[in-house]
Structure 1
Amino acid sequence: MNNPGPETDFDIVVVGAGLVGSPLAQVLSEQGWRVALLDQRPSSGVDLLDSVDGGLSQRCTALSLGSKYWFDRQGLWQPLNEDACPIRQVVISQKGQFGSTRLRAAEMNVDALGYVINNELLTGKLLQLIGNSSVHFVPDSTVTRVSAEEQLINVYHGTAALSARLLIAADGVSSSVRECLGTAVRTHDYDQSAVLGMLSLETDHNNVAFERFTETGPLALLPRPGNLMNFVECIDSSEVQQVSQLDDDHYRQRLQQRFGMRLGRFDGVGPRHIISLNRIEAAQQIAPRTLLLGNAARLLHPVGGQGYNLAIRDIAQLQRLLGECITASGLADPGKADLLSHFVKLRASDQRRTVQFTHTLARSFRGRSEMPAKIRALGLVGLDTVSPLRDWFTRSTMGLSA
């Protein structure tokens, strides 16, 4: 990783050294592009790794098998593999109803349906890899203004500025680049919040993940090393104050009641974090010489764990398009308007389908009405008994159907 210096002119500037921006900068640099990576944090990848406490406070990401394949093809999977917990099976059920379905890796002839990894470990290890690359890393930098010209775009951060032919915003749902562009967003409020945290079990989870739909929304449990599981509990917004005031033991009892005894007794829970759930989409994913990716482009409901995996598929497509810009005579213009428009066209179907799939799951598997719950349960029974439908659903969650 090159430290900030006098160099100010690049082919591509990536803003946001998180789960999207870090691997993106790495693979584009390896294609031969001169890449700068800006991030608000002053810390390096080593600092991030040192900050992981290994206890019950870790937040995680569920990587689909398709995302794992992409990381593997880039040579990025080996340093991540030791910290990634495989998902061998997913059990989907409706609380209070008989219907359920199981998605099994063995039925798809794969080792795992996906992998669960700690967010800070993933980001930290990706930044360590960037440390050994030609990426020009600029920490402690917040974009305050952007200005596009015919042949380049200027990116201002503090009192400094960089120029590039393409600016990629991967700086999250509160994207400073998107704000500088004045890009409008469309927001859907689910009137829900998510409680995030980790719990420990008395028994082994056997690498099984669970998605349980309840009257207030889905509850997901994701396997972690040993007898630990990450949980995402969706609750009505009206419950936030009450739930936030529960101590660890009372919250453990609440979680146990919602999930049941399929995994035996929950032994303990760690610190919890509550976030509001909204779907937020940028009205446009591109602007002159600018592309929005990841949560800067769209934030999805966490049900099904589709958001990050969609972003990885976006990265893979962009990587292919920019690779086609490399000719025997050199590097073509990565920020030209027709290339960015072509990217949007190529990705539109998968993006639209994933957004609708997630939105439908979030809305359909929620509610206290007895009849809809029974209908939904029958749908889960049907999913488990109709093999082609179950296989399509499995491949969708694995990120292999796009």
Structure 2
Amino acid sequence: MANANNADQRFDVVIAGGGYVGLSLSLALQKADPALSVAVVDPKPMDQLASDPRASAIAAAASRMLDQLGLWSELLPSAQPINEMIVTDSKLRDVVRPVFLTFDGEVTKGEPFAHMVPNGKMMPALHNAAKALGVQFFALDTALTFRSETTKTLVQLKSGASIEARLLVAADGVRSKLRSLAGIKTVHWDYGQSGIVTMVKHERPHDGRAEEHFLPAGPFAILPLPGNRSSLVWTEKTADAERLVKSDDFTFELELERRFGHHLGKIELGGPKNAYPLGLTLAREFVRPRFALIGDAAHGIHPIAGQGLNLGFKDVAALAEVIVDARRLGQDIGSSDVLERYQRWRRFDTLQMGIVTDVLNRLFSNDNDMLRAVRDFGLGLVDRMPGLKSQFISEASGFAGPAPKLLSGEPI
């Protein structure tokens, strides 16, 4: 490493990756402890992130965290609350799709269990708030290599600069290069599926209702957006997904209509269509000395439960609390003892969610009549058990298990 022993700049925490999770961590740390020096290294231009036409499902716990970070009031006017959710299970050729499970959308009175928030609004809000608090950005740059020493980590950037940190946090995605450099192994398998993500316009209002249709190729989720619009997360076998995305809009809309149905009137494509390969990736460890994983770098799961980003926000809340508490106690924030607290807090919850989404995908993404009868019986049983439904809502809202302070709406 060039300049390895003569760092150009020194920070308490360096975050590699300026997506939602990396930016949220930088903001949470800087807001809780203004004396911390925090830097974010990210290769993507902000104008590209601000033009993202997609939307994300933000659970109630995550919205409480964003409120504590001072952003929720800015995001709420463009957000769409999810007031209700229905679950169906059918074959593509079925004329009628019976509803087996329904969820009311509130965790407390007036608080929906989730909102759909436009990515193009959330990313600039996080970036601007972090920058205003003093987070330093190494824009259009990449962390190429690093070396952890007894009291510091030395990070070499693509630009040639060398920076020093007491703690390096990798938030560089499911194919994390830094995770590999740290020697952290993963459990991984490919589902042979891809998720088609797009937006549709429809004739009738959705009334804030989300829909999850389990079809043989995989789940087909309709998620409400402001106005007569909905976001789609449409799972298909990878070859079929690639064919659909490459097809013309007329062909795509014909296939879309077969799955979407006619209950919201005439539909038309309202945005770009893209397909993303789906798999399960779980890091065997979340930490090494002076190094931690968060977000997709630690876990990539199937979108069947809509919990991917919300798991990342849980990582943020837990790691920020661990770091700030350690600082207040005069401890070394990059030490193995401190980072182990974060790992204990997050690894089991992540493993549990990974297993749940894997089992759900395998159970529902098939055309087996016997399995279908069993799962439909199970869905109907859950629908008749208010206590169990409440537990599912609590999980979907992000409140299951011991919650970090930020996710409970409390400052660190």
Q: Same fold (TM over 0.5)?
A: yes
Q: Does residue 117 of structure 2 align to residue 114 of structure 1? A: no
Q: Secondary structure at the match of 2:10?
A: coil
Cα deviation, residue 374, structure 1:
2.0
In the alignment, the residues of structure 1 paired with residue 200 and residue 99 of structure 2 have an alpha-carbon distance, to the nearest angstrom, of 26
Unpaired segments ≥5 residues, structure 2: 1-6, 402-412
Q: Does residue 129 of structure 2 align to residue 129 of structure 1? A: yes
Q: Which amino acid aligns with 1:370?
A: D
**After superposition, what is the alpha-carbon deviation per residue over 1:66-91, rounded to whole angstroms, capped at 9, x for unaligned?**
11111112222122222221111111
**After superposition, what is the alpha-carbon deviation per residue over 1:325-363, rounded to whole angstroms, capped at 9, x for unaligned?**
2338xx531111011112111223321221122112211
Q: Which residue of structure 2 aligns with residue 239 of structure 1?
A: 240
In the alignment, the residues of structure 1 paired with residue 8 and residue 129 of structure 2 have an alpha-carbon distance, to the nearest angstrom, of 21
Q: Which amino acid aligns with 1:124?
A: P
Mean Cα displacement is larger for which, 103-112 or 374-383? 103-112
In the alignment, the residues of structure 1 paired with residue 359 and residue 62 of structure 2 have an alpha-carbon distance, to the nearest angstrom, of 23
Contact 2:71 2:125 in 1 (8 A): no
Q: Secondary structure at the match of 2:78?
A: coil
Cα deviation, residue 213, structure 1:
0.5
Q: Which amino acid aligns with 1:306?
A: Q
In the alignment, the residues of structure 2 paired with residue 71 and residue 240 of structure 1 have an alpha-carbon distance, to the nearest angstrom, of 34
Cα deviation, residue 258, structure 1:
1.6
The structure 1 residue matched to 2:69, chosen from 71, 74, 92, is 74
Q: Which residue of structure 2 aligns with residue 155 of structure 1?
A: 155
Q: Which residue of structure 2 aligns with residue 312 of structure 1?
A: 313
Contact 1:98 1:377 in 2 (8 A): no
Q: Which amino acid aligns with 2:120?
A: E
Q: Secondary structure at the match of 1:12?
A: strand
Contact 2:107 2:113 in 1 (8 A): no
Q: Which residue of structure 2 aligns with residue 33 of structure 1?
A: 36
In the alignment, the residues of structure 1 paired with residue 107 and residue 336 of structure 2 have an alpha-carbon distance, to the nearest angstrom, of 44
Using a 3 Å threshold, how does the CA distance of structure 1 residues 25 and 259 change in structure 2: closer, same or farther?
A: same
Q: Does residue 186 of structure 2 align to residue 198 of structure 1? A: no
**After superposition, what is the alpha-carbon deviation per residue over 1:17-54, rounded to whole angstroms, capped at 9, x for unaligned?**
1110001001111213111111112x34x6744x35xx
**Equivalent residues in 2 for 1:202-217 (5 A)?**
202-217=203-218
Q: Secondary structure at the match of 1:63?
A: strand
Q: Which residue of structure 2 aligns with residue 88 of structure 1?
A: 83
Q: Which residue of structure 2 aligns with residue 270 of structure 1?
A: 271
Query: How many percent of aligned residue pairs carry the same amino acid?
Result: 28
Relative to the length of structure 2, the TM-score reads: 0.89
Relative to the length of structure 1, the TM-score reads: 0.91
**Equivalent residues in 2 for 1:1-400 (5 A)?**
8-30=9-31, 31=33, 32-41=35-44, 43-44=45-46, 48-49=49-50, 51=51, 58-95=53-90, 96=94, 98-106=98-106, 108-158=108-158, 159-327=160-328, 331-400=330-399
In the alignment, the residues of structure 1 paired with residue 181 and residue 306 of structure 2 have an alpha-carbon distance, to the nearest angstrom, of 29
In the alignment, the residues of structure 1 paired with residue 360 and residue 372 of structure 2 have an alpha-carbon distance, to the nearest angstrom, of 13
In the alignment, the residues of structure 2 paired with residue 241 and residue 352 of structure 1 have an alpha-carbon distance, to the nearest angstrom, of 30
Contact 1:99 1:377 in 2 (8 A): no
Q: Secondary structure at the match of 2:379?
A: helix
Q: Which amino acid aligns with 2:377?
A: L
Cα deviation, residue 270, structure 1:
2.8
Contact 1:249 1:268 in 2 (8 A): no
In the alignment, the residues of structure 1 paired with residue 250 and residue 303 of structure 2 have an alpha-carbon distance, to the nearest angstrom, of 25
In the alignment, the residues of structure 2 paired with residue 332 and residue 63 of structure 1 have an alpha-carbon distance, to the nearest angstrom, of 33
RMSD: 1.9
Using a 3 Å threshold, how does the CA distance of structure 1 residues 19 and 186 change in structure 2: closer, same or farther?
A: same
In the alignment, the residues of structure 1 paired with residue 164 and residue 287 of structure 2 have an alpha-carbon distance, to the nearest angstrom, of 18
Unpaired segments ≥5 residues, structure 1: 1-5, 53-57
Runs of 4+ in 1 over 6 A off after TM superposition: none
Contact 2:286 2:347 in 1 (8 A): no
In the alignment, the residues of structure 2 paired with residue 138 and residue 373 of structure 1 have an alpha-carbon distance, to the nearest angstrom, of 51
In the alignment, the residues of structure 1 paired with residue 107 and residue 334 of structure 2 have an alpha-carbon distance, to the nearest angstrom, of 43
Using a 3 Å threshold, how does the CA distance of structure 1 residues 350 and 142 change in structure 2: closer, same or farther?
A: same
